[in-house]
């Protein structure tokens, strides 16, 4: 966070003791006691950000279009007739990049999730909230879809404010009606897209053709989420980032003085001064035009330092660059920079904290990759039936087992069970072999009989091979109970 003491000497408005919005501590360090979009009485301040334009906005739009296409196309992609991506939380079945994950694979998920958290922490420590500005779905939909529609229908911030103040005339009814209709339609599409990630695009198409009465629960889900999306993008807006998102709240513990954030170069900018023909020599580069504040979708003044509400959307960089060009000053008064880069003109440092995070991240990623690539498509579990004893037969000793075989592939498979390195017989009850459907599992009970001379004690370790097309797929170790030596 920027040291407000330093700003104080430049007369930053953030430390104006007269300003009742700020609390001043004994040390003279000041801070706000409420977020930017709430007034002193606790009422919401509706933010009308000016339409941003500039190089960063252009590149962010390109990235957003790419991500939106990716997001909308992904549910339609199939590999070998199967979805490329399904996140079925209800059936606990996940297909990620064409690979099926079962509940049995959740340990990989847990580790991958842990790696993701470390990645987020590391990434934030180094690059601040770059994710929020460039890739977060909330920012992309809010700033690149819904906000752009709003600019298109209602005009830039001044027209929007005027429309808001005006009475309900034909113009306002038409513009608001059109905007809300498009927002509702978009929210409905988004909700369907969301559902397609859970149940798959084929199921969704089936539900649509068969109608809501046939699939009432799914229809209710779509309506509920469409309502939630409409509420967020039409009314709740930046509050999702400032009140709800835990990532934004965590940034104060994740960022340090080396983190790259959207920052105002107060060394260069202060003392700020309104632009006039003959500027005094000691004037900073900031001409106090307020352009950076006007474009901010969360309603903050980046000149007061890094703040909770800043989603690193870069709109203020573009706005200030435009002003700098007009007043013949170098660009980048607001730019991506760390606090140390600004205060001490230092270069980026690879701190011990970043080093430690990187090592943990490397180890976790390596482990996840190893587990992913060595994950078996077939998983067999063989257990002795609980509470059963051995049985003496004419030729030997028998135990009863249950076998569960999971087939994670997209093809049905047949399996047989064979004893490894020991003579004996396996008789599956009620069937000759085990047929397991694609992406399915089969349970079976079987009797395993060993010749008496191979049963050497009460507990014998044996290995059972699981074969498919005479190919050994998996070897399962299990126990075999027999009579104590000397007993029959
Ligand atoms: S301060 Fe700048 S980067 Fe941060 S949210 Fe506002 S406009 Fe975007
Ligand atoms: S846009 Fe640049 S010059 Fe204008 S107030 Fe913001 S920092 Fe100062």
What digits encode the pLDDT tens for the residues 89-136? Answer: 777 778 887 777 777 777 887 888 888 888 888 888 888 888 899 999
Lining ligand 2 with CB less than 6 A are 264, 269, 272, 286-292, 303, 319-320, 323, 333-334
Query: Would you state the pLDDT for residue 487?
Result: 66
Percent above pLDDT 90 for the chain: 52
CATH number, residue 386: 2.60.40.10
Asked if the model's pLDDT at residue 398 lies above 90, the reply is: yes
pLDDT at 453: 87
Q: Is residue 344 part of a domain?
A: no
The band of 9, judged by pLDDT with boundaries at 50, 70 and 90, is very low
| pLDDT at site 49 | 96
Kindly give, in sequence order, each residue whose CB lies less than 8 Å from that of residue 376, ignoring residues fewer than 6 positions away. 408, 474
As a whole number of angstroms, the distance between CA 269 and CA 304 comes to 12
CA distance 183 to 190: 10
Give how many domains the chain has, as a whole number.
1
Q: Determine, yes or no, domain membership for 456.
A: yes
| Residue 415 lies inside a defined structural domain of this protein | yes
Average pLDDT, the chain: 87
- In this prediction, residue 333 has a pLDDT band, given cuts at 50, 70 and 90, of very high
| pLDDT for the residue numbered 311 | 93
The answer to whether the beta carbons of residues 218 and 195 sit under 8 Å apart is yes
442 domain-assigned: yes
Average pLDDT of span 352-372: 83
- Which ligand gives the minimal distance to the CA of 306? 1
Please, are residues 86 and 93 in contact by the beta-carbon 8 Å criterion? yes
Separation of CA 325 and ligand 2 centre (Å) = 12
Atom of ligand 1 nearest to the CA of 334: 2
CA distance 453 to 473: 29
34 exposed, middle or buried (CB, 10 Å; 0-12, 13-18, 19+)?
exposed
pTM: predicted TM-score of the whole model, two decimal places: 0.78
Residue 30: the pLDDT is 57
The answer to whether position 177 is within a domain reads no
The encoded tokens of residue 161 equal 């404010």
Q: Which ligand is nearest to the CA of 292?
A: 2
Q: Which residue has the higher pLDDT, 94 or 176?
A: 176
Across residues 165-187, what is the average pLDDT? 97
CA of 287 to the centre of ligand 2 (A): 6
Max CA pair span of the chain: 113
Mean pLDDT computed over 55-84? 93
Best mutation site among 7, 13, 271, 303 for ligand 2 pocket (most ligand atoms within 8 Å of CB) = 303
pLDDT digits (tens, 9 = 90+) for 208-266: 999 888 889 889 999 999 999 999 999 999 999 988 998 888 877 888 888 889 999 99
pLDDT of residue 17: 38
Which ligand has its closest atom nearest to the C-alpha of 315?
1
The pLDDT, as a whole number, for residue 11 is 31
Which span out of 119-128, 136-145, 381-390, 400-409 was modeled with the highest average pLDDT? 136-145
* Pocket residue to mutate for ligand 1, from 144, 264, 312, 322, most atoms within 8 A of Cβ: 312
For residue 386, is it within any domain?
yes
pLDDT at res. 346: 77
Kindly report which listed range (168-172, 254-258, 283-287, 395-399) carries the lowest average pLDDT score.
254-258
Q: Give residue 314's pLDDT.
A: 96
Average pLDDT over residues 316-334: 95
Residue 460 lies in a domain: yes
Distance 341 CA to ligand 2 centre (A): 19
Domain that holds residue 383: 378-481
Look at residue 473 and tell me if it is in a domain: yes
Nearest CA owner, ligand 2 atom 7: 286
């Amino acid at each position: 966070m920027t040291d407000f003491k330093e700003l104080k000497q430049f007369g930053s408005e953030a430390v104006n003791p007269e300003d009742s919005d700020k609390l001043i501590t004994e040390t003279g360090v000041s801070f706000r006691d409420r977020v930017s979009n709430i007034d002193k009485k606790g009422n919401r301040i509706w933010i009308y950000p000016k339409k941003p334009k500039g190089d960063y906005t252009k590149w962010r739009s390109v990235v957003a279009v790419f991500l939106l296409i990716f997001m909308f196309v992904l549910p339609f992609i199939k590999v070998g007739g199967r979805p490329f991506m399904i996140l079925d939380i209800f059936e606990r079945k996940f297909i990620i990049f064409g690979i099926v994950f079962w509940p049995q694979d959740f340990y990989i998920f847990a580790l991958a999730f842990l790696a993701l958290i470390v990645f987020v922490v590391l990434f934030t420590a180094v690059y601040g909230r770059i994710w929020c500005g460039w890739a977060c779905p909330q920012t992309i939909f809010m700033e690149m879809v819904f906000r752009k529609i709003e600019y298109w229908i209602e005009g830039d911030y001044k027209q929007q404010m005027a429309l808001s103040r005006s009475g309900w005339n034909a113009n306002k009814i038409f513009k608001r009606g059109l905007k809300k209709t498009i927002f509702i339609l978009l929210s409905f599409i988004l909700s369907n897209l969301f559902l397609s990630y859970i149940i798959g695009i084929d199921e969704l198409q089936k539900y649509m053709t068969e109608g809501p009465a046939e699939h009432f629960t799914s229809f209710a889900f779509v309506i509920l989420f469409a309502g939630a999306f409409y509420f967020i993008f039409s009314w709740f807006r930046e509050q999702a980032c400032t009140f709800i998102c835990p990532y934004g709240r965590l940034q104060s513990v994740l960022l340090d003085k080396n983190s790259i954030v959207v920052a105002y170069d107060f060394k260069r900018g202060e003392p700020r001064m309104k632009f006039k023909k003959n500027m005094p020599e000691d004037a900073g580069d900031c001409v106090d035009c307020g352009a950076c504040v006007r474009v901010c979708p969360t309603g903050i003044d980046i000149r007061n330092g890094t703040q909770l509400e800043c989603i690193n959307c870069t709109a203020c960089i573009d706005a200030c660059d435009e002003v700098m060009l007009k007043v013949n000053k170098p660009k980048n008064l607001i730019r991506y920079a760390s606090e140390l880069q600004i205060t001490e003109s230092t270069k980026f440092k690879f701190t011990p904290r970043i080093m430690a995070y990187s090592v943990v991240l490397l180890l976790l990623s390596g482990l996840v990759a190893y587990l992913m690539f060595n994950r078996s498509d077939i998983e067999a579990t063989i257990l002795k039936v609980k509470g059963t004893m051995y049985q003496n037969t004419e030729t030997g000793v028998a135990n009863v087992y249950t076998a569960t075989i999971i087939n994670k592939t997209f093809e049905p498979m047949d399996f047989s069970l064979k004893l490894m390195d020991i003579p004996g017989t396996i008789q599956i009850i009620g069937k000759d072999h085990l047929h397991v459907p694609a992406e399915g599992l089969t349970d079976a009970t079987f009797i395993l009989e060993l010749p008496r001379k191979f049963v050497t004690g009460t507990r014998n370790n044996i290995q059972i091979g699981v074969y498919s097309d005479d190919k050994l797929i998996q070897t399962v170790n299990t126990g075999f109970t027999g009579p104590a030596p000397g007993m029959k």
